[in-house]
Structure formats: structure tokens, C-alpha cells
Amino acid sequence: MKLQFLAPAALLALLLAGCNSKTEQQSSAAPATETAAAGASAATGKKRILFFGNSLTAGMGLDPEEAFPALIGQKIDSAGLGYEVMNAGLSGETTAGGRSRVGWVLRQPVDIFVLELGANDGLRGLPLADTRRNLQAIIDTVRKKSPDAKIVLAGMQMPPNLGASYAADFSKIYPELAQKNNATLIPFLLEGVAGHVELNQRDGIHPTAEGDRIIARTVWKVLLPLLQ
């Protein structure tokens, strides 16, 4: 399977990657314009799954085919399902950044929209009300641009270094938004990976290839029923 990567209109050659912590780092990804992605979809007649997130989505520090969206694409091909996967991960992306670019990314309709944002908000201690508001705005844009799309919301958790109250309130955002918007919830994207030194790169934040294989299994369990 050839994984499609989307790039902003003003920088068609920009290589998309995923989230970061305090320092901004990027991983390389195969460049492609949305026009090319749309053309591929029209040519194959396949439905489209868009992963919209940060470097956890793009697989920072990994080969593009090792990132969990690419692994999902491989599972889809193996199962003979009529979907293609597109990766719209961007390094350092916050929910505010995602809110500003989602309209462009959705110039072509999608069938399934997987939303993975918020980790950078939490790591920077941004106001939770803003994170919630931005995620809701992204969901609203998806509903407007692709009314029939199924939305999957990837839950995230924060370590307690910013305070137990902040961490607890952060984790509540995802199930509450999923319930409010009738979206499918992945309770915790990094389940079984976060906190395991051997499954994370030296920064302690971005998963290794083995970590992303675990993430892919977590996502697949939630996504598969929506594809059948």
C-alpha cells in the first residue's frame, strides 16, 4: 500500500511529521499534494481514511511505513477492505494549529476522520478550555465538510508533573467530546506504550517502531468495526 501524505497549500513540498515536547523536531515523510491524493482516490475508487494529528500520527523518528497509520493501511490491504489511508500529521501541532488547517485538509471529502491532537497542548500546559474548544471546532468542520464521515477521537493522557488536577481534567476531554459528538473513542492512544522505556525513543515521548506496532493494534481494534 502507498501511504498518502498531505501538505499545506502554501508549501506543497512540505514534509509532514508529528508532535513534539518542549523542543520542535520533525521526521521525514513522503511528500504529496492533496490533489494527488484525491486523484489516487478517484482512480482506485477506494474510500478515504484521514489521520489528522501531530508526530504521533506521522511517526517522528521512524520510516514513514513504520508509523501506525501506514501499519493500519497494511492491515486494511491484508483484509481486502476498500479504503486508502492518508496521513496529515504535523510536527509540533497543537489543537489551535489543527483548527486553523483542517479546512484546507478537508477540501476533498473523507469517509473516516481520525483526530489525534492535544498532546502538545498538555505538554505546554495550555488552558484546557481552549483545547476542548479547538477540538470541538475541528469536529464541527469535519461535520460541515464531510457530513457522512465517521469520526474517531484518539484519547490522550498527561503525566502529573503539571498537577494531578490538570492531568485528570485533561483526560476527561476526550470521552466527553466523543459522547457529545457521537464519535468513536480510542480511550488512550498510547496504551501499553507510554512509560515503557524500551518502547520509546530517547526523548521518552515518541514511540519506537515496536511502540507504533502496539499503537496500530490499539487503533485497529477500534477502527475495524467501522470499516466492515
- The angle at the Cα of 73, spanning 174 to 23, to the nearest 5 degrees, equals 55
Count CB atoms within 10 A of the CB of residue 84: 23
Q: Which of 27, 41, 111, 206 is catalytic?
A: 206
Establish whether 55 is a catalytic residue. Answer: yes
| Three-state helix/strand/coil letters over 123-176 | HCCCCHHHHHHHHHHHHHHHHHHCCCCEEEEECCCCCHHHCHHHHHHHHHHHHH
DSSP conformation class of 200 = B
Distance CA 59, CA 125 (A): 23
The residue annotated as part of the active site, out of 55, 91, 121, 212, is 55
Residue 107 to residue 96: CA distance in whole angstroms: 19
- Asked about 196 being catalytic, the answer comes back as no
Active site residue 206: yes
Cβ contacts of 218 within 8 Å, gap of 6 or more? 186, 189, 191, 192
Catalytic residue among 63, 77, 140, 203: 203
Q: Which residues are known catalytic residues?
A: 55, 203, 206
